[in-house]
C-alpha cells in the first residue's frame, strides 16, 4: 500500500503477509480522498479509524495533517500500526486495541470524521452506524464514512447522505443532518 498525498506522499508500506485483513485498494482510497478533499480541510481534523486493519486509511489522514485514533481488535494489526507510526514519526497517530462495539459505548470524544471498514461479512453494519450516532461521537458538522460491499445498503437510514461505488468497494457517507 502507498500513501497518496501529504507529508508521507509516495511512501510504500509493506504490511506483514500474516495479517488477515482486506486493505482498501489504492484506487478506492484515492477516490475517497478526492471526495473528502473537496469537503474538508484535513489540517488538525480529529479522525477515528474503526476496524483499522493495516492502518492504510489512518496513514493517509496523518499524512495530510489530521490527528487519528486507530481502533482494531487484532493485536498484530495494532502492533503493526504502532510500529509504522514510530518508524515514520507519526506522532499524532494513537492506537487502541479494542472491539469496536465495546469501544464506542465507552468513548466520549467527538470526531470530525469517523471511518469504519468492518469485515465485509459483518452482520452488524446498521448497528455500527446507529451506535456512532447514538453515542454522539461526531461533531455537529462531522462525517461518518463506512466501507462496505454492494449488498449492504444504507439508503433508508435517516443520517445517510451519499454512496459511491469503486469496483467491489462502496463508501456510504452519513452526517448529523442526513
In a domain, 138, yes or no: yes
Distances (CA, A) of 120 to 33, 64, 84: 21, 27, 25
In a domain, 20, yes or no: no
Instruction: Kindly write down the DSSP assignment for every residue of 58-86, as one continuous string.
Output: HHHHHHTT-EEEEEES-HHHHHHHHHHHH
Q: How many structural domains is the chain composed of?
A: 1
In the chain (178 residues long), the average pLDDT of successive 10-residue segments reads 91 82 82 94 96 96 98 96 96 97 95 95 91 96 95 94 92 89
Task: Check residue 23 and give its pLDDT.
Answer: 73
Task: Check residue 27 and give its pLDDT.
Answer: 86
CATH code of residue 86: 3.40.50.150
In a domain, 114, yes or no: yes
Task: Check residue 107 and give its pLDDT.
Answer: 93
Task: Check residue 35 and give its pLDDT.
Answer: 95
- Look up the domain containing 158 and give its range: 26-175
In a domain, 84, yes or no: yes
* Residues 131/104, Cβ–Cβ less than 8 Å: yes
In a domain, 19, yes or no: no
In a domain, 13, yes or no: no
* Residues 84/55, Cβ–Cβ less than 8 Å: yes
In a domain, 94, yes or no: yes
In a domain, 1, yes or no: no
Task: Check residue 18 and give its pLDDT.
Answer: 79
C-alpha–C-alpha distance, residues 50 and 115, integer Å: 6
Task: Check residue 85 and give its pLDDT.
Answer: 96
Amino acid at each position: 500500500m502507498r500513501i497518496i498525498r501529504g507529508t508521507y506522499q509516495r511512501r510504500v508500506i509493506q504490511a506483514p503477509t500474516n495479517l488477515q485483513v482486506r486493505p482498501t485498494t489504492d484506487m478506492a482510497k484515492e477516490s475517497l480522498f478526492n471526495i473528502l478533499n473537496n469537503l474538508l480541510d484535513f489540517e488538525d481534523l480529529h479522525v477515528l479509524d474503526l476496524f483499522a486493519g493495516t492502518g492504510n486509511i489512518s496513514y493517509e489522514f496523518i499524512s495530510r495533517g489530521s490527528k487519528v485514533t486507530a481502533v482494531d481488535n487484532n493485536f498484530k494489526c495494532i502492533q503493526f500500526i504502532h510500529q509504522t507510526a514510530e518508524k515514520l514519526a507519526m506522532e499524532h497517530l494513537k492506537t487502541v486495541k479494542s472491539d469496536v462495539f465495546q469501544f464506542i459505548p465507552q468513548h466520549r470524544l467527538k470526531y470530525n470524521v469517523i471511518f469504519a471498514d468492518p469485515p465485509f461479512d459483518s452482520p452488524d453494519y446498521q448497528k455500527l452506524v446507529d451506535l456512532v450516532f447514538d453515542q454522539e461521537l461526531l461533531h455537529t458538522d462531522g462525517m461518518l464514512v463506512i466501507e462496505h460491499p454492494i449488498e449492504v445498503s444504507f439508503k433508508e437510514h435517516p443520517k445517510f447522505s451519499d454512496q459511491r461505488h469503486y469496483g467491489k468497494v462502496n463508501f456510504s457517507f452519513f452526517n448529523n443532518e442526513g
